[in-house]
């Protein structure tokens, strides 16, 4: 499973060199407080007032655009972020967030273009690099995706996801040792990353190391007690390792949790 990383919507206090400075700052802060309370209509009105107050200020459109993005109004977000870009063409964050809006509308070409422009303006836009990786994965451009995830590793908050996704891509391009190393690094970054344990277990099965695979499946189950896929996979692995009774117990558990393959397997091999 791969994940998009969406930057968290936050309120900023901006400094303006004009007589409207305090009013604009108050409106932004008021809008954010209303957003936090779920008063989206009230927040929208505050952003509208900010734009009326300073219609040529790119930050007014940027703030309302990111608000629309965070409330799943992607078309409106694109319009506001485009206006922000029109007013300030070198504002990297606006390209990043417009790319995310395009992403949510499955407009991958437009999203990739915006992410590329964001990083061309600011090479520290690591969220853009990460999202470029995900888009390239969707386009089956795995080598490019690997390059993007490598760059997003510069952001500590993205490391676990970046290692995990890069590991997955290394599997797809038949580099199992590099995939194993990346899954392990993802786990080192986040010891509770169940997907990384699960994928590493699957890789260990492929490599024939059943005992270590069983340990990783067990860790997934420890983290997610209802993970029927992990019970089923651990069961099959135990059977292949010569522990049929224990393996069948896992497969019965997986069937009880709703795993369709386990239900079929029980009928034939674990009666």
Give the pLDDT confidence of 85-111 residue by residue, as tens digits.
Answer: 999 999 999 999 999 999 999 999 999
What CA–CA distance (Å, rounded) separates 187 from 197? 7
Contact in structure between 234 and 218 (CB atoms under 8 Å): yes
CATH topology of domain 194-271: 1.25.40
Q: What is the predicted pLDDT for the residue at 198?
A: 98
Architecture of the domain whose range is 10-104: Alpha Horseshoe (1.25)
Q: What is the rounded CA–CA span in Å between residue 176 and residue 250?
A: 27
Task: Kindly indicate the confidence band of residue 185, based on its pLDDT and cuts at 50, 70 and 90.
Answer: very high
Angle at 161 between CA 128 and CA 91, to 5 degrees: 15
- 10-104 and 194-271 in the same fold: yes
Who contacts 125 (Cβ-Cβ below 8 Å, separation ≥6)? 92, 93, 96, 118, 119
Q: What is the mean pLDDT of the chain?
A: 92
* DSSP notation for 218-241: HHHHHH-TT-HHHHHHHHHHHHHT
Q: In the chain, pLDDT over 70 holds for what percent of residues?
A: 92
At 16 the pLDDT is 45
User: What pLDDT, on a 0 to 100 scale, did the predictor assign at position 22?
Assistant: 58
State the Cα–Cα distance between residues 177 and 138, nearest whole angstrom.
Answer: 23
Specify the CATH number of the domain 123-190.
1.25.40.10
Which pLDDT value is given to residue 18? 53
Ordered by start, the domain boundaries in the chain are 10-104, 123-190, 194-271
Tokens for 185, please give them: 């690094």
Single pTM value for the model: 0.89
């Amino acid at each position: 499973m791969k994940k998009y990383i969406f930057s968290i919507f936050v309120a900023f206090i901006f400094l303006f060199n004009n007589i409207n400075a305090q009013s604009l700052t108050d409106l932004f802060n008021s809008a954010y407080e209303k957003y936090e309370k779920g008063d989206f209509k009230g927040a929208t009105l505050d952003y509208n007032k900010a734009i009326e107050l300073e219609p040529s200020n790119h930050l007014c459109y940027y703030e309302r655009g990111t608000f629309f993005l965070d409330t799943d109004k992607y078309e409106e977000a694109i319009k506001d972020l485009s206006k922000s870009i029109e007013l300030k063409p070198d504002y990297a964050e606006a390209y990043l967030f417009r790319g995310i809006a395009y992403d949510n509308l499955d407009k991958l070409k437009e999203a990739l273009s915006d992410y590329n422009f964001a990083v061309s303006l600011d090479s520290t836009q690591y969220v853009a690099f990460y999202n470029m990786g995900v888009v390239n994965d969707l386009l089956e451009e795995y080598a490019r995706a690997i390059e993007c995830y490598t760059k997003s590793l510069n952001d500590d908050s993205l490391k676990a996801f970046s290692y995990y996704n890069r590991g997955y891509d290394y599997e797809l391009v038949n580099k199992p040792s590099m995939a194993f190393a990346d899954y392990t690094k993802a786990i080192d970054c986040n010891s509770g990353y169940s997907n990384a344990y699960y994928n590493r277990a699957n890789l260990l099965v492929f490599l024939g190391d059943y005992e270590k695979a069983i340990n990783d499946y067990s860790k997934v189950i420890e983290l997610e007690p209802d993970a029927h896929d992990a019970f089923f996979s651990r069961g099959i692995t135990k059977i292949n390792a010569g522990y049929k009774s224990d393996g069948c117990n896992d497969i019965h558990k997986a069937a009880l949790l709703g795993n369709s393959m386990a239900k079929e397997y029980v009928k034939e091999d674990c009666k």
